[in-house]
Amino acid sequence: MARPSRKGVEPEGDVRRKLLAGAAGLFASKGYAATTVREIVERAGVTKPVLYYYFRSKEGIFLELMREPLERFAALLDTATSEDGTARERIARLCVRAYEVFVEHLELARVMFAIYYGPPQGAPFVDFDASHIRFQDAVLKLLEEGIRRREFRKGNARDMMWAVIGAVNVAMEQELCRPRQSIGRGGTERMLGILFDGIALGKDEAKGRGKGR
């Protein structure tokens, strides 16, 4: 249970949240390099020593902002291949959850995109590629399992992987760049369904392949 605050003193969690929210908004609107510690603390309504106490520096608050969504994403990947269900169900579940984490942290996603694709801003290194590669590997592994189990037709599993990830990326980028044309969770699920229907092994094909074994 949270420790009650002294009169006139905000709980520590509230101060941290204000600092993180202020930094996220400024990094998203101005960029990391152009944002100063003074602007972050003014937006949070605290002083510089308070930021230094919790995060030590602008670099520290940036790394803390990146930590939570990346840890959530990593947790999804840790369980993606071991959960119950068909390969199709597990791929869809992983992709939809990844989309939801992205939407929940849209402001931070904007910061990530600006740092990853834009000019250097002097931000501390965060290995975004490692997360992308783990996502690709998880989807690929499930597709290969689906092919082995005759859920999906024989084909190039890596090509299938890019098609699946491409659909998720479209849904994410619509939220980021064109929110009025948001595809939403339902649209993401429908796009994935079209893809899965295209690579699914029909009943007659499954029977024929079973006889040929």
pLDDT band at 209 (very low <50, low <70, confident <90, very high): low
User: Is 4 inside any structural domain?
Assistant: no
The pLDDT-based confidence of 8 (bands split at 50, 70, 90) is very low
Asked if the structure places residue 5 within a domain, the reply is: no
Check residue 50 and give its pLDDT: 96
CATH code of 34's domain: 1.10.10.60
**Domain assignment of residue 3, yes or no:** no
Using 50, 70 and 90 to split pLDDT, how confident is the model at 3?
very low
Give a three-class secondary structure readout of the chain. Answer: CCCCCCCCCCCHHHHHHHHHHHHHHHHHHHCCCCCCHHHHHHHHCCCHHHHHHHHCCHHHHHHHHHHHHHHHHHHHHHHHCCCCCCHHHHHHHHHHHHHHHHHHCHHHHHHHHHHHHCCCCCCCCCCHHHHHHHHHHHHHHHHHHHHHCCCECCCCHHHHHHHHHHHHHHHHHHHHHCHHHCCHHHHHHHHHHHHHHHHECCHHHHHHHHHCC
Confidence at residue 154, expressed as pLDDT on a 0 to 100 scale: 94
Task: For residues 158-164, give the mean pLDDT.
Answer: 97
**109 and 72 in a common domain:** yes
